Amino acid sequence: MRKKQSMPSPQHLALSCLLLFGCGNPPDSTTPADSYASSAVDSGEKEPTPKDAVLVRTVKVFLEDIEKSVEAVANTQSLDRVDLLPERAEPVLAVLVEEGDQVHKGQVLAELRKEVAGLALAEAKVRLAEAENEVGRAERDFERNRKLAEQGGGTSLLSERDLDTSHQALLTAQTALESARVGTDRAQLDLMRCTLRSPIAGTITVRDISVGDMTTMGTRAFEIVDLSQPRLVFYRPQRELSLLAVGQSIEATSEALPGETLTGKVERISPVVDAASGTIKVTALLDPKWQGLPTGILVRLKVVLANHPNAPLIPKKALLYDADGVSCFVIENGLAKRLTLQVGFENPNYVEALESGLQGGEPVVIVGADRLEDGDLVEISEE
């Protein structure tokens, strides 16, 4: 018969476990840290890496003069413009100038018929001569009567009444003489009015009479304009009254003068605001080099209110707007730096960065700024 095996006792099992664990770790065993790294690799996790560089495009800040200005539209004008009106209704015998001619003050422009005025002057001179003779006769009569009144040894040979009558006749003759002199002067003036003369130095811009025409009093014969000091008159809103000042520079361009820039200065500013339009009248005097410029040219002008020299300028497309204000990103040592800006003067493409510390030459981000944060690593595109 086979002998039945006996089962190991619990004491034997405990002894076996102690012997097994007492043998220690094998020589190629790993540390807990190694085991964690191994498990991390086995689980597919990646170690943390630095943020990738942001690709941006930049331009450099530059220093340049920038100005604050206002723009307006105006026509060239002359404040010395005269309409010459005939003062007698007479036929035109001669026209001595044409439109575009330069004339000086007092120059004869046209001759009217003078015969009628000449006869009136001759008649006035005859009356003047008669008045002078009458005054001479009255003076002699009065002087004779005065001497007679003083003779006679106390007994007058002429009554006091007769003396007063001769004195009154003398006064009447003298008054008539003055009236004759005035009539002669008037007749002389009427004769002079038959010759049309320029009242100012300037240019004939309009001729409205021809030989043979009958002039009409109050109807223009010539227009004379002084083109030596052309001006621009324009109107600005009353809110700009505190910005405008006499002496401010202006620049103007016109399609009639391609490639030319008109220059001048503000000459005067009206102290009155137009109640209907709420505007003020501004008059600018062009520089002397523009003498002879035709009136009526339409120009677009710019008034320079102030100028900042060597101002740091930043492109408008580099600006970022948020609740904190205006900012931009500049690059320093390959990192993006957010710069809060105080905007000064501006033009269509650039703004002035006030109190920014920019010296010119700093790269400022114009493309990609919306993807940047302060301190980000950047890569500058060469395109």
Residue 11: CA atoms inside 13 Å, Cβ hemisphere, count?
Answer: 0
pLDDT in tens, 59-104: 999 999 998 888 999 999 988 899 999 999 999 999 999 999 999 9
d(CA 371, CA 177): 103
Distance CA 156, CA 149 (A): 5
Q: Please, what sign has the CA dihedral across residues 353, 355, 358, 364? A: negative
Write down the pLDDT at residue 105. 94
Return the bridge partners of 300, or none: 73, 253
* Residue found by looking up tokens 């605001």 in the block: 273
Given strand 202-207, what is the order of strands in its sheet? 81-84, 222-225, 202-207, 102-103
Average pLDDT, the chain: 84
Residue 194, pLDDT > 90, answer: yes
- Averaged pLDDT for residues 113-122: 94
Global confidence as pTM: 0.59
Topology classification of domain 114-193: Helix Hairpins (1.10.287)
At residue 379, does pLDDT exceed 60? yes
Q: Which CATH number fits domain 56-64+309-380: 3.40.190.10, 3.30.2310.20, 2.40.420.20, 3.20.20.210?
A: 2.40.420.20
Residue 11: band (very low, low, confident or very high) from pLDDT cuts 50, 70, 90: very low
**Which CATH fold topology does 84-113+194-225 show?**
OB fold (Dihydrolipoamide Acetyltransferase, E2P) (2.40.50)
Fold that domain 71-78+229-308 belongs to in CATH: Elongation Factor Tu (Ef-tu); domain 3 (2.40.30)
What does residue 128 show for φ and ψ, rounded to 5 degrees?
Answer: -65, -40
Most confident stretch, 53-67, 149-163, 369-383: 53-67
Encode burial over 86-121: b for 16+ CB neighbours within 10 A, e otherwise. Answer: bbbebebeebebeeebebeeebebbbbbbeebeebb
Rounded to whole angstroms, the Cα distance separating 112 from 194 reads 5
